[in-house]
Structure 1
Amino acid sequence: MKTADWKDTSVGKIVAENFAAAKVFKKYGIDFCCHGETQLHEACAALKMDVEEVIQALQHQDSDGKGAIPFASWPLDLLMDYILKIHHRGIRSRGPELMELLEKVERVHGEAHPELRELKTLVSESLQDLEMHLQKEENVLFPYLYELYAAQQQGQRMEPMHCGTIANPIRVMKMEHEGEGNRYLHIIELTRHFSVPQDGCASYRLLMQELEAFVDALFEHIHLENNLLFPRFEEIERKIVF
């Protein structure tokens, strides 16, 4: 990583510079997506953990982090393409599959594990809210961001967005990100970090694997927007929008 002093660096910036750090923060329960502006020492203090231990883990991960996707070096239009074609499509394809599997497991194990009923409700509500969120990005925010990027590349000026500034829809997107982040942090606690009970069948194990993968992808999605895409476009807007 390029950052010299991780203690006083935001966790979002640390992950932005090297996405391999996300694995470390996941292990320690550090929220790098919805609260990426929090400095590392503050995040560790809030969780009552030793910041030096986390830094050592980051250093180890940094040395072994070959193959991590260099999102921070990507042009913004490519980053948006990735978000739309990997994350938005992924939510819409994997979400219903996850829900179908969850309903199957809840029918079999719901009596012995009543937390599955709450889990089913949380995931169902999330998928509904996420669909509305994705539509807002696709129909309102991202089309203007593509135009803004093209204008910046061509050295042109842009008229303001119809809602005045991109800061307004971005604020809404970040609020919705935080709501989803909090929901899935609760899901992580509810499932005891995606653990499978002793009486869990193969479908139960598959459910926890798929749920964890879905959450990891969602947190990557939020991180890419909150810590990379949105701040860089706000900077562009300040320079070329009249």
Structure 2
Amino acid sequence: MKQKDYNSCTVGEIVADNFATAKVFSRYHIDFCCHGNTPFTEACRNRGIDPEVVVRELDALQENMENNVPDFAGWPIDLLIDYVLKIHHRGIRAKGPQIEVLLNKVTEVHSKNHPELLQIQALFRDSLSDLNNHLLKEENVLFPYVYEMFQAKEKGRKTAKFHCDTILYPIEVMESEHSLEGERFEKISLLTNKFTAPEDACASFRLVLQQLRQFDEALHEHIHLENNIIFPGALKLEKEVTV
């Protein structure tokens, strides 16, 4: 199998082409979502990692391709948005408050010996509040217009421009908010030693760290799909169908 020239790609492009590569980047703590536009070589060196080491892992992954990895890059944009809404938006609203309840209980019991829990609690609370506003903007403003553009293209017709002339502006806002969430969860990861339970952690403490890790992983996929596939696709669509 012909290997990809990763050095000519951004990390976001690599993951968009094959989402299985996200596991490799996550292992090296290379941000493929909020900083997906960073060139591969630069992203590796920013983490103090030899790019050739990562290339070997990516090549090995390509040679042993898993068939069950979704081909997100091959999905039509309306299906991608459906997936984000039904998997990620619903997931945040369903799981976020459950995690917060457990985190509050763990913080109440363990913050005396683990004061970092107070900061984690505040970061997660602010994240849920800001994410709720973020999701509403996507659901009520941006995504309905992208659906409209997609339908226009499917029917071979044109559609009116976005109310503020272009979707570039709301997309820039969404990307900025994504970066803020990425920074928050990077702080949570640092405060929890990469979501690792301390030796004196009870079952609830261990469970909430596991749930925070899963929430973080889902958020990475969510942001990746929007920043690296949906948003570029929507801007391309805008050029094709608006008048």
1:119 counterpart letter in structure 2: I
1:232 aligns with 2:224: no
Give the corresponding residue for 1:22.
22
Q: Any stretches of 5+ residues in structure 1 without a counterpart?
A: none
SS in 2 for 1:162: coil
Change (3 A) 1:2 1:201: farther
TM superposition score normalised by structure 2: 0.97
Structure 1 residue runs of 4 or more that deviate by more than 6 Å after TM superposition: none
2:169 corresponding residue in structure 1? 168
CA RMSD of aligned residues (A): 1.2
Structure 2 unpaired stretches of 5+: none
Task: Give matches, 1:126-165, under 5 Å.
Answer: 126-165=127-166
1:112 paired with 2:117, answer: no
Assess, with a 3 A threshold, how the Cα gap between structure 1 residues 150 and 157 changes in structure 2: closer, same or farther.
same
Residue 221 of structure 2 aligns to a residue whose secondary structure is helix
- Report the Cα distance in structure 2 between the residues aligned to 1:212 and 1:64, rounded to whole angstroms: 26
Q: Give 1:234's aligned amino acid.
A: L
Shift of 1:37: 0.8
Find the counterpart in structure 2 of residue 122 from structure 1: 123
1:9 matched residue in structure 2: 9
In 1: Cα distance, 2:29 partner to 2:22 partner: 10
SS at match of 2:129: helix
5 Å-filtered alignment, 1:1-242, equals 4-66=4-66, 67-242=68-243
Shift of 1:89: 0.3
Asked whether the 8 Å contact 1:3–1:14 carries over to 2, the reply is: no
Equivalent pairs, count: 242
Q: Which amino acid aligns with 1:42?
A: E
1:33-82 CA-to-partner distances (Å, cap 9, x unmatched) read 01111111000111111001111111223334411111111111110000
Secondary structure at the aligned position of 2:196 is classed as: coil
| Percentage of identical aligned residues | 50
